[in-house]
Amino acid sequence: MKLSTRARYALRMMIVFARQSEGKELISLNDVSKEANVSRRYLEQLVIGLKNGALIRGKSGKGGGYTLARPADQIKIRQIVESAIGPINIVDCVLNPENCLKSDVCECRILYQVINNRITGILDSLVLADLVDGSRLNEAVKVLDTAYSNSPAPGV
């Protein structure tokens, strides 16, 4: 499995917003583009999903720009990723079993569900502030490593 470019760039953009704005001042997409090393045109596409997900807010015109809609410690990484790419679903049958003729008898479907649950669980347990603060991220990763190494697979 591979995390899409859209998801990676959305994370980079949100990190710039978190570092620069602290929820107070607006940042232009030109500035974000330079800081995140992502083209402005690509960022313009990502802004739509992030605004629809109520993760950022913006103002158009002279002096306009964008900022976080709420503090970075209240924005889950899963929200950012799903605003960019839609629901996390490693195989169609996980969220939409009716799309597969074999979903009722598939020996692998439960494995796909467990993998999907682990991915979404990890992304739900991290917030944007964790990515901005390296020590905070290191601590969160230690907690996750301990939790997942000592726990059985989550129920499906």
What is the pLDDT, as a whole number, of residue 154?
55
Name residue, tokens 């494995």. 111
Q: Token pair of 56, please? A: 């950022």
What is the pLDDT, as a whole number, of residue 80?
98
What is the pLDDT, as a whole number, of residue 40?
94
Instruction: Kindly state the helix (H) or strand (E) to which residue 126 belongs, with its residue range.
Output: none
Give domain limits for the chain.
5-149
Instruction: Kindly state the helix (H) or strand (E) to which residue 106 belongs, with its residue range.
Output: none
What single string gives the DSSP state of each residue in 16-82?
A: HHHHHHTTTS-B-HHHHHHHHT--HHHHHHHHHHHHHTTSEEEE-STT-EEEESS-GGG-BHHHHHH
Q: What is the CATH number of domain 5-149?
A: 1.10.10.10
What is the pLDDT, as a whole number, of residue 71?
94
Along the 156 residues of the chain, how does pLDDT read in single tens digits? Answer: 688 999 999 999 999 999 986 656 899 999 999 999 999 999 999 999 999 999 999 988 888 899 999 999 999 999 999 999 999 988 888 888 888 878 788 888 889 889 999 999 999 999 999 999 877 777 877 777 777 776 665 555
